[in-house]
Chains A and B, each alone.
Chain A
Amino acid sequence: MCDRETLLTEEAVYMHKLFFGATAPVEVVRQYVAANLRCPLAADGSESGAIHKIVTRELDAEAIEFVLRCRRQSRTLTQKVHILFYLVEVRTHYSSWFVSTAPGRWRALAAVAWALLRSSWKYAKGSYLVWRHRLV
């Protein structure tokens, strides 16, 4: 496996654990690597270096991506996260992450409220991490 594929594998493994709290299935990792190799993502040397830091230092990629997206400073991390989400959404095992199949209005409202609060925290954390680790 060449260096780039190794890095992409590490990205997939790390981000899947971060976002979905479990080990990534081999097929998802394989598809993530293949998609990154195939798709014309916006990437230059500095962004690749930042992503490598995020993975090796196990930084909160979600928080960092959110801040960078808000500031419109970088697209590559967003694109990589986007790829991962597409790849898992079309798999049976992940359907409950994306689709609500059991009614529950108050549970849903609570989840939405928590998601909004959590997002504020992620922004603050992401701002700190971008500054602390000089990611941009």
Chain B
Amino acid sequence: MFDAIIVGSGPAGVFAARALRGLHVVVVDVGFKPPDSLAPSMEGSAWDSPLKTDLHDFLIGPNFEGLRNIWEPDVNLKLKSPLMSFVVKDWERLAPVQGHGFCPMVSLAKGGLANAWGAGVYRFSSEDLAEFPVALAELQPFYDQVSDHIGVSGAEDDLAVEFGLESHLLPPVRLSRLSSALLAAYERRRDKMRRAGVKVGFARLAVLTEPRGGRGAYSSDNLDFYRPHNPAIYHPSITLDELIDKGEVQYEPGRLVLCYEDRGSHVEVVARNLRSGLLERLPARSVFIAAGTLNTTRIVLESHGDYESRLPILDNPMSCVPFFHPSDIGGSLDGCNSSLAQLNVVYRDNDSGQRCQGSVFGTTGPLRSDVLFRLPFAVSSNRTLAKHLAPAMALVMLFYPAPTSSENHVRLNTQGALEIHYQAPRRGHAERSLIRAFRKLGFFSASWMCQYPPMGSSLHYAGTLPMRQVPGRYQTDRMGRLFGSSRVYVVDGACFSTLPAKNLTMTIMANAMRIATGARSQLS
């Protein structure tokens, strides 16, 4: 019998595994992997003309996977590329979710959605954790362990108070010309901007800017958008493979966990072997469910045979705000303009105190054709606009705190699909404030240019089985134990009590380590 079964190999699963290593642990996972041939070898960036090779197979794919957004306009641009499509392979068939006012996305890949993440890592503050039954002081040592393990780059600047202090911060990723101009303008007008509630600083990224532990330093080749597993950008498979190679955990891919049965003395995890189609039962002293908020919710509800209950769900509303810097119109392509977040912006409304956080991106990630028909002119004119304005354009992806509303809920239906109902909140105020503030920095936009992706687009799902000081049904205690069971732990975003406007991945990792470390003492 295993000491622990961990369901899922995303950020929560691998850090729970890391905390439990050495015990008899198995990670059970569907575990889709990227294709074996990852990229044509090339020198320089994808945009160095003399060295550029035709990139059809790489960017479009032999089966034209890269064209999906032509008939499915809500496809995440990053996830449609042939080398990234494994991240969202087959979820509609194996783990169906029906969204009403919500566009869901599920990953059954080894490493989860973090295979395609933006690598933003931000510690929650005491304010962010106010509704959690866990204090920052309890999470802090686990944040430190996560940071030491993955490597975090950034700077101790105006945003340090928002993101927490890192003891070993690596130098920040080199800024593009455009982002450097934005940061310099902010620093010249810092006081005025802060009075307006706006702070700008370097992004905190799980990206190595110096070689470390066999992983090389990051260099932008403009292919991050399309190619997974750049070793300089942390992804959970790095940790999982280390644990497997050292024999510290077992990994069983090709299995879709359907439910568990708590027998009192042990737990049995029921999984379908995707190759044989047969059901397998795996007994363990404990199970750590880390399948991603949506799949974790499905597993728990299925385990209770509950097709009625409505559980809460949290998601960060988001917006996309383009800004133009006239000085850079007609500029040449900037080789440093990687697809990772360049800077972060925090906006705090002076009246309501609501805090929003945004990431500033350059626009060399997507193909020009990705945006050609989003612009309102004839296609060749759009091409000209995209060509000449892209070097002058920054995109701010802004996140709001997740609203808590009884209108927003998830349930499992009798056909085995999750149903999510979500009411999008009003947005626009933070965008208008940001537009006014950035105008003073020489970056221009307008409210009508803002785009509001549907709920679910943030991919920050949480709070379906929230931690409470005194948990009730379908809630978890401060150690992640599901109410009514002493052997079932929820360690991913599902157990979050609230969801601030901040990427939750680092907190998922730290919290999973905290829960698993607490459980370890009982298991060993």
The residues of A with any CB-CB pair to B shorter than 8 Å are 19, 31, 34-35, 38-42, 62-63, 65-66, 69-70, 78-79, 81-83, 85-87, 89-92, 95-109, 111-112, 114-116, 118-119, 122-123
Contacts and interface: CB of A to CB of B under 8 A. Distances in A.
Given A85-B372, A87-B60, A98 B71 contact: no
A130 to B, nearest CB: 14
B384 interface: yes
Contacts of B377: 66, 115-116, 119
B333 interface: yes
A83 B67 CA distance: 7
Contacts of B71: 39-42, 79
Interface in B358-415: 367-369, 372-373, 376-381, 383-391
A112 B64 contact: no
Contacts of A123: 378
A49 to B, nearest CB: 20
A24 to B, nearest CB: 14
Given A39-B71, A78-B373, A101-B333, A62 B387 contact: no
A99 B47 contact: yes
A39 B67 contact: yes
Contacts of A89: 367-369
A34 to B, nearest CB: 7
A119 B381 contact: yes
B381 A118 contact: yes
A91 B49 CA distance: 11
B56 A87 contact: yes
Interface string B63-93: 1101100110000000000000000000000
Contact of A103 (B331, B373, B384): B331
A87 to B, nearest CB: 7
Interface in B281-332: 327, 329-332
Contacts of A63: 378
Given A39-B67, A39-B71, A42-B71, A101 B332 contact: yes
Given A95-B52, A105-B329, A62 B60 contact: no
Interface residues of B, number: 42
Nearest to B331: A103
Given A86-B67, A112-B385, A115-B381, 16 more contacts: A39-B71, A62-B379, A78-B373, A81-B379, A82-B67, A86-B70, A87-B60, A90-B60, A99-B368, A101-B47, A103-B331, A105-B327, A105-B329, A107-B330, A108-B329, A111-B384
Main secondary structure of the interface of B (DSSP, over half): helix
B127 interface: no
Given A62-B379, A85-B383, A111-B388, A92 B49 contact: yes
A99 B64 contact: no
A86 B373 contact: no
Contacts of A39: 64, 67, 70-71
B53 interface: yes
Interface string B47-58: 101001111101
B233 interface: no
Contact of B372 (A40, A82, A95, A105): A82
A97 B379 contact: no
A115 B380 contact: yes
Given A82-B372, A101-B49, A108-B329, A91 B380 contact: no
Given A85-B379, A86-B367, A112-B385, A100 B64 contact: no
A86 B369 contact: yes
26 contacts: A19-B379, A35-B67, A38-B63, A39-B70, A41-B70, A42-B71, A62-B379, A79-B70, A82-B372, A85-B372, A86-B66, A86-B67, A90-B59, A90-B367, A91-B55, A95-B47, A98-B387, A99-B387, A102-B332, A103-B330, A108-B388, A109-B330, A112-B384, A112-B385, A115-B385, A116-B377
Contacts of B59: 90
